[in-house]
Structure 1
Amino acid sequence: MTVTATSEPVEGRTVEVTVPATSANLGPGFDTLGLALSIYDTLQVTALPAGRLEIEVTGSGAEEIPRDASNLIVRTIAYVFADVGRPVPGLRIVAENGVPHGRGLGSSGAAVAAGVLAAKGLLEGDVEIDDADLLRLATELEGHPDNVAPALFGGLTIAWVGERGPQHKKLLVHRGVSPLVLVPAYTMSTSRARSLQPPQVSTADAVFNVSRSALLIAALMQSPELLFDATADRLHQDYRAEAMPETQRLVQALRAEGFAAVVSGAGPSVLVLADGPGSRQDAVDLADRVTDTPWEALLLAVDVRGGTVGASGGLHVVS
């Protein structure tokens, strides 16, 4: 991070931000692996005179999103400005939410990523925030980096926290991998899902997930035919099943037919990592047959670009 000696005025500056949805865990990679997907939140943020706040929201979850200082994007921008020692300006935020809320597709991570990118754009020319600080700030706000890393940088990410703070490695996904997300009408609280995790797991289950996580990297990068075995999990999905039985039922039905199906993030959406676009419709048809819950089918691509921020007609890709 580079800070100038004197602050540049930001009032009147407008930035435009786009961030993708994400699916964390991908089966065995609990709190570590994340994948950016081609559904997006977009927002336009304008710096106003201090004390003013205007928020417009459309799209998923719009009716529940606060229009005051408790708004997550507002809090994120304020957090970044405080971190770099700059006074937060007034804000006008116009947001369009494409990422489904409360469905295990990283909506809170997307909001945090959007907020740190908006702050980066507003501070450009005064404070230069690099990728490491973007991830640090987003992780401090989100609590863990598995969703914010792919939201910021795109692609498949491995995220961890080491002695130097949050870190990530971005990897390219084999072009044969074709994501399908099946989204139910009901929601799931991430905190509720996490509360169902046991404090300890057996050595056998830990070794199982270590082997499958390693295999999953190989499957996603070069061997999609291994995705079914690579997405098996023993650490979190079964423990959370009681809170979302229809999700568990669908995952089991899909896997019984050979689909690499997992719970997306904390759920309740289901992610299918197909080894080609042709099999995705078969998975959609199966979902229609085996559960009483209607599922919205999103045939997606892996987003390779990640979050973007543009100011004064420019565009910056954060990767």
Structure 2
Amino acid sequence: MPVRVVVPATSANLGPGYDALGLALDLHDELTAEVTDGDLEVTVEGEGAGTLALDETHLVVRSMWAGYAAMGVTPPGVRLHCRNAIPHARGLGSSSAAIVGGLALARALVADGDRKLPDAELVALAADLEGHPDNVAPAALGGFTIAGREGERWYAVRAPVDPRVRVVVFVPPFSLSTELARGLIPETVPHADAAADAGRAALLVAALAGAPEHLLTATRDYLHQSYRRPAMPDSLALVDQLRADGVAAVVSGAGPTVLAFVTDGPDIADVADRCPEGWTARGLDIDGDGVRVVG
């Protein structure tokens, strides 16, 4: 029988939490797959339709194959349909959603898949495929996560989020590759900046857990956003404008989307009204579930 999963968009870094902090958002890709006796069939609607590969190089397919291999299974054929809502190359975790969604599909299509590929192993395999865990962890586990690597082992831990916290994302009409954005980060930073960033990241965990009045201070970044300004000056200009008005705004992931934290309904409309011409603004809840099988 076909299996359908939904997987959330994510925002990583959140200002000072470079390559460590991530948040799942209530915006989802929907993936449906079934095992067949034929060849691979891939269809795509929504984001990426007409541009994404429809063969074994498709990221969802590659992730499914990695999941099957981890479980010691080789399917005779797969029919896959992707209904994508997460913007591509905008800093909202579209590649992580594809990876986590593909692994979740493979797990759901295999008998005893939950036992053969438990959540911790799914996150680790997803991080191996993505190269870093900050987006795949919230995509898999939901909510707010702290993730990283210790030696050869990936780790990911959920942390609480105050139910008052919501976000507004400002999505520009232009894209930015993660590789380009990462290439602008220097190999070393001043010790004072690193110390300040560590303090802000710790404060951000507390602010999201129950002290959202500290979110503006907690989202001050010293490690990556300013270095990326040449690649996305309009995004950083919007961050500067919002923060000058007391809004806790950051670059989402590698950008160029801007994310702003808000704490109640009226704030969402007021902040969304700051959307630049040609961009789109959207208020979103935090997704507390992560990837899940539906239907």
Q: TM-score range by the shorter chain?
A: over 0.9
The structure 1 residue matched to 2:280, chosen from 296, 301, 316, is 296
Aligned to 1:66: 53
Residue 132 (1) aligns with residue 120 (2): yes
Residue 92 (1) aligns with residue 79 (2): yes
**Hey, what's the Cα distance between the residues in 1 that align with 2:76 and 2:11?**
33
Shift of 1:175: 1.3
Q: TM-score, normalised by structure 1?
A: 0.89
Native 8 Å contact 1:82 1:88 kept in 2:
no
Q: Aligned with 1:303: secondary structure? A: coil
Q: Aligned with 2:35: secondary structure? A: strand
Q: Which amino acid aligns with 1:74?
A: V
Structure 1 unpaired stretches of 5+: 1-12, 314-319
Q: Aligned with 1:44: secondary structure? A: strand
Residue 120 (1) aligns with residue 104 (2): no
**Hey, what's the Cα distance between the residues in 2 that align with 1:22 and 1:264?**
9
Structure 2 unpaired stretches of 5+: none
What's the Cα RMSD here?
A: 1.4
Native 8 Å contact 1:42 1:96 kept in 2:
yes
Aligned to 2:250: 262
Residue 141 (1) aligns with residue 129 (2): yes
Native 8 Å contact 1:21 1:151 kept in 2:
yes
**Hey, what's the Cα distance between the residues in 2 that align with 1:175 and 1:136?**
28
**Hey, what's the Cα distance between the residues in 1 that align with 2:112 and 2:271?**
49
Q: Alpha carbons of 1:148 and 1:225: their partners in 2 closer, same or farther (altered >3 Å)?
A: same
The structure 1 residue matched to 2:168, chosen from 180, 204, 208, is 180
**Hey, what's the Cα distance between the residues in 1 that align with 2:217 and 2:36?**
53
Shift of 1:125: 2.9
Q: Aligned with 2:73: secondary structure? A: coil
Q: Aligned with 1:68: secondary structure? A: coil
Native 8 Å contact 1:172 1:304 kept in 2:
no
Shift of 1:164: 6.2
Shift of 1:163: 4.3
Shift of 1:46: 0.7
**Hey, what's the Cα distance between the residues in 1 that align with 2:241 and 2:112?**
53
Q: Aligned with 1:55: secondary structure? A: strand
Aligned to 1:82: 69
Rg: which structure is higher? Answer: 1
**Hey, what's the Cα distance between the residues in 1 that align with 2:191 and 2:76?**
51
**Hey, what's the Cα distance between the residues in 1 that align with 2:137 and 2:43?**
26
Aligned to 1:190: 178
Aligned to 2:148: 160
Shift of 1:276: 2.3
**Hey, what's the Cα distance between the residues in 2 that align with 1:39 and 1:117?**
17
Instruction: Report 1:247-286 matches (<5 A).
Output: 247-286=235-274
Q: Aligned with 2:274: secondary structure? A: helix
Native 8 Å contact 2:11 2:22 kept in 1:
yes
Q: TM-score, normalised by structure 2?
A: 0.96
Q: Percent identity?
A: 45
Q: How many residues align?
A: 294
Q: Which amino acid aligns with 2:271?
A: A
